Structure 1
Amino acid sequence: MFIQILLGTGLILLSVIVAAVGFGVYELGLRRAHKWLITEPHRPKLFVVLASAVLAMLWIITAGVWIWAFAFRFLGMFSHLEEALYFSLTAFTTLGFGDVLLPVEWRLLGGMAAVNGFLNIGMMTALLMEVLRHVRRNQLEAQRAAREDNPLSNP
């Protein structure tokens, strides 16, 4: 039991580290695009931010699923990587069909994979909302500053 908890905790930490690095890379890209993002037109650029953020989040979540799949396969819980990936995905998304199960002596890891998925998906949702809020706030501030610099252009 303690081995499962230690191993599961390590996998969760690895997944969170991968998520943090992935989000850091995405945030660096946003910082580099800051001037472009705050110039008109704003709406299409907000869509680009949304689409790119969703793709980044999907990549991060997919990386977490693969981490667990490789661990399940490495520990010999499944004979094929596809089966380990399928179980990892259904556990990570908390879908859990129940058609593929871990061996009884490793079943705590299934719950830990689900907790990791729930944690990552929640974290990614919060980060997505924060990115959109931040970009939109910067766009509105740039719009307001432009109006103050040239009050005749926008009545």
Structure 2
Amino acid sequence: MNDLSTPEPVLEIAVGTVILIIVIFVHGAGIRAINLRFNRAWVHVDSGTSHWRINLLLAATIASLSALHFTETLIWAAPIYARGFIPSMRDSYYFVLESYTTLGQGNIALPERWRLLGPIIAISGLFTFGWTSSVLVSIMTEFGKLDRARIKGPKERASDQADPDA
């Protein structure tokens, strides 16, 4: 029997796990860099900062997070295409995007021997999207604090600073 047609689940899981670890590492490094850039910009924000500048910061942060996810899916798609599991890079990327987002309704499939990679790609998407969501919650918490400070106005902020028990 042909070696390429004989499934080897241990090999599939091992290869998938290595790529999963690389993707999670890239995500962690990317999240740290994006969060650091956001925090460096945010320390200059106060209640007098114009809305358009704050919204531009949010848009840049969301764009960076999106680019990070597109990079991570490219990390998955490149070896799938390079090994010839899916014959075109576009179709490989499409397959990975569907798996990564857990959409999974496409008509492109991996060969029998490598089909366990699909669920492992989905696991990486679940991890990274969850991590990204937590960062967005943290960022939006900062926006909420700023909005509350703006609503309070200068008099109430001054009295809050004078009375630490408030």
Note the residue ranges of structure 2 that are not aligned, 5 or more in a row.
1-8, 160-166
Q: How many residues get paired?
A: 151
Following TM superposition, by how much is the alpha carbon of 1:45 offset from its aligned partner in structure 2, in angstroms?
Answer: 4.2
- Which residue number in structure 1 is paired with residue 121 of structure 2? 113
Please say which structure displays the higher CA radius of gyration. Answer: 2
Following TM superposition, by how much is the alpha carbon of 1:64 offset from its aligned partner in structure 2, in angstroms?
Answer: 1.2
Following TM superposition, by how much is the alpha carbon of 1:41 offset from its aligned partner in structure 2, in angstroms?
Answer: 3.2
- Which residue number in structure 2 is paired with residue 88 of structure 1? 96
3-state SS in 1 of match to 2:104: coil
Following TM superposition, by how much is the alpha carbon of 1:145 offset from its aligned partner in structure 2, in angstroms?
Answer: 10
The residue identity in structure 1 corresponding to 2:61 is: A
The residue identity in structure 2 corresponding to 1:25 is: A
Deviations 1:94-139 (A, max 9, x none): 1112300000110000111111112211221121111221354367
- Which residue number in structure 1 is paired with residue 27 of structure 2? 19
Instruction: From the superposition, tell whether residues 108 and 38 of structure 1 become closer, same or farther in structure 2 (CA, over 3 Å).
Output: same
Structure 1 residue 52 corresponds to structure 2 residue 60: yes
Following TM superposition, by how much is the alpha carbon of 1:69 offset from its aligned partner in structure 2, in angstroms?
Answer: 0.2
Note the residue ranges of structure 1 that are not aligned, 5 or more in a row.
none
Q: Which moved more, 1:71-80 or 1:33-42?
A: 33-42
The residue identity in structure 1 corresponding to 2:58 is: L
Q: Is the 8 A contact 2:99 2:119 kept in 1?
A: yes
Following TM superposition, by how much is the alpha carbon of 1:140 offset from its aligned partner in structure 2, in angstroms?
Answer: 5.1
Q: Is the 8 A contact 1:15 1:63 kept in 2?
A: no
Structure 1 residue 99 corresponds to structure 2 residue 114: no
Instruction: From the superposition, tell whether residues 29 and 117 of structure 1 become closer, same or farther in structure 2 (CA, over 3 Å).
Output: same
Could you tell me how far apart the structure 1 residues matched to 2:80 and 2:58 are? 33
Identical columns (%)? 23
Q: Which moved more, 1:49-58 or 1:63-72?
A: 49-58
> Could you tell me the TM-score, scaled by structure 2's length?
0.77
